[in-house]
Amino acid sequence: MAYDAISATNLANWIPSVWSKDVLADVENSLVVGALCDRGYEVYARDGGDSIVVPKLHNLSANVVNTAVDVTWYDAVQNVQNITLNQKYDVAVMVDDINQMQTNPKYFDKVRTKLAYALSKQIDTNCAVQFRSFNSTVGTVNVATTETDLIDAYEDLNNENAPDDGRAWVFPPRTLTDLLKLDYFVKMDYVGDSVVKKGFTGRQIFGSPVYRSTNLDAYAGNAYPAGYFQQEAIALVLQMSPRFEIGRFPARHSDGIIGLAVFGIQVMRSTYGVCINTRGG
């Protein structure tokens, strides 16, 4: 006599799919550029307005004394730099009551962090776009970055009297890979915590910290302009930091989350930054 158990095929309607309550969220790109910008002008945006006017204080030149004539009085046009608060972004998700009840894990609860990240990433990306507006550029688009490119960038900021404090390097991942292939950065550092062992991120090049970002602007061919700059090069003004509201939409039996951010970004000292062209891939 055969003793065959009922097959899994015949029990298919009794076997549920079990969903994990832990969500594997999309990888969130590191947000770095916005944190390296000058936020000092933000205080002037708290009382409203759509722009901030920043007077520029120009340098004066000394003259050789000639007691036979009057001194030369300085009289030059005093310019201003405007920071326009015209960048406005929102993000929203609506989930109906039925899906809130039936989804497990609860999508409405989990998605909230992603809305905050979406606005933060947009701010970071828009800051990185400003690298193209720097006064100086080194390297070649779609060509690997070399030690000469970085030395030239370092020299450019030194020639412009950019302060040493507040400088930083921001590279795409491919550029850090290219630098690891250069003897200049590897053979100089055969120690326990060498670049080969720990990579460049968190270390320094010519006294300035190195950051990695995948939020950089892209040329054709997927090459990214990296940046070496001092903090005063770019001003970031968050007039309205990412703000979120939960609203009820009874006509749709739904709850919604809406996020909004209003900000301005302006290159204030283009000479305090160097755009570094990198390879694509």
In the prediction, which pLDDT does 191 show? 45
In a domain, 24, yes or no: no
State how far the Cα of 33 lies from the Cα of 174, in Å rounded to an integer: 17
The answer to whether position 109 is within a domain reads yes
Residue 67 forms part of a structural domain: no
Q: Is residue 64 part of a domain?
A: no
CA dist., res. 58 & res. 195, Å (int): 42
Position 212 scores a pLDDT of 92
pLDDT on residue 273:
98
Cβ atoms of 266 and 233 closer than 8 Å = no
Give the pLDDT of residue 3.
61
E strand or H helix at 176: helix 173-180
pTM score: 0.84
The per-residue pLDDT for 195 is 65
The pLDDT score that the predictor gives to residue 193 is 59
Q: How many domains does the chain have?
A: 1
DSSP per-residue codes, 60-112: -------TTSPPPPP-----EEEEE--EEEEEEEEEEHHHHHH-SS-HHHHTH
246 neighbors 255 (Cβ within 8 angstroms): yes
**Token duo for residue 167:** 């400088």
Residue of 138, 145, 175, 178 whose CA lies nearest to 159: 138
Is residue 25 situated within a structural domain?
A: no
pLDDT along the chain (281 residues), means of 10: 65 74 72 93 90 89 91 88 94 90 83 89 95 96 94 97 96 91 70 60 84 88 92 95 91 91 96 94 62
- 106: phi then psi, degrees, rounded to nearest 5: -75, 105
Q: Max CA-CA distance within the chain?
A: 129
pLDDT at 103: 83
Contacts of residue 43, defined as CB under 8 A and 6 or more positions apart, other chains included, come to: none
Task: Report if residue 21 sits inside a domain.
Answer: no
Tokens (6 digits) for 75: 């009289």
Q: Domain range spanning residue 141?
A: 34-58+79-276
Q: At residue 107, what is the residue type? A: Y
User: DSSP letters along 2-33, please?
Assistant: --PPPPTTTTGGG-PPPPPSS--PPPPPP--T
Residue type, 189: D
Amino acid at 67: T
Q: Given strand 87-96, what is the order of strands in its sheet?
A: 87-96, 254-267, 234-249
Which of 161, 143, 159 shows the shortest CA–CA distance to 151? 159
Residue 127 lies in a domain: yes
Cβ(215)–Cβ(180) below 8 Å: no
Task: Locate all alpha helices (DSSP H) within 5-137, ordered by sequence.
Answer: 97-102, 107-110, 112-128
**Inside any domain, residue 26:** no
